[in-house]
Amino acid sequence: MHMILGSQSPGRQELLSAMGYAFAVMPAHIDEQAIRAEDPGALTLALAHAKADALLPQIHEPALLITSDQVVVWQGKIREKPAHAEEARAFLRGYADGPAETVTAVVVTNTATGVRQQGVDVATVWFRRIPEEVIEQVIAREEVFAHAGGFSITDPLLEAYIERVDGTTDSVIGLPTALTRRLIRAAMASHVREDPASAGRCVPPAEGMSGP
Break the chain into its structural domains and give their ranges. 2-210
Q: What does the pLDDT average to over 63-86?
A: 97
From the list 53, 69, 97, 155, the catalytic residue is 69
φ, ψ of residue 164 in degrees (nearest 5): -165, 165
Per-residue pLDDT band at 2 (split at 50, 70, 90) = very high
Per-residue pLDDT band at 25 (split at 50, 70, 90) = very high
- Whole-number pLDDT of residue 207: 42
d(CA 142, CA 145): 6
Q: How many CB atoms lie within 10 A of CB 141?
A: 11
- Whole-number pLDDT of residue 172: 98
Q: What does the pLDDT average to over 114-123?
A: 97
Q: Characterize the bridge pairing of strands 100-110 and 116-127.
A: antiparallel
Q: What does the pLDDT average to over 148-174?
A: 96
- Whole-number pLDDT of residue 200: 33
Q: Which of 87-96, 124-133, 148-157, 187-196 has the lowest mean pLDDT?
A: 187-196
Q: What would the pLDDT profile of 77-109 be if each residue is shown by its tens digit?
A: 999 999 999 999 999 999 999 999 999 999 999
Q: What would the pLDDT profile of 167-183 be if each residue is shown by its tens digit?
A: 999 999 999 999 999 99
- From the number of C-beta atoms within 10 Å of its C-beta (0-12, 13-18, 19+), residue 140 rates as exposed
d(CA 143, CA 152): 8
- Whole-number pLDDT of residue 191: 61
d(CA 173, CA 178): 13
Average pLDDT, the chain: 90
Look at the pTM and tell me if it is higher than 0.95: no
Q: Determine whether 69 is an active site residue.
A: yes
- Whole-number pLDDT of residue 1: 86
Burial 8-24 (b: 16+ CB within 10 A, else e): ebebbeebbeeeeeebe
Task: Using alpha carbons only, give the angle 21, 145, 51 rounded to the nearest 5 degrees.
Answer: 45
Query: Identity (one letter) of the amino acid at 18?
Result: A
Q: What does the pLDDT average to over 193-198?
A: 36
Side-chain half-sphere exposure of 162, counting CA atoms within 13 A: 17
Q: Which fold has domain 2-210?
A: Maf protein (3.90.950)
pLDDT surpassing 60 at residue 164: yes
Return the percentage of the chain with pLDDT > 90, whole number: 85
pLDDT surpassing 60 at residue 204: no
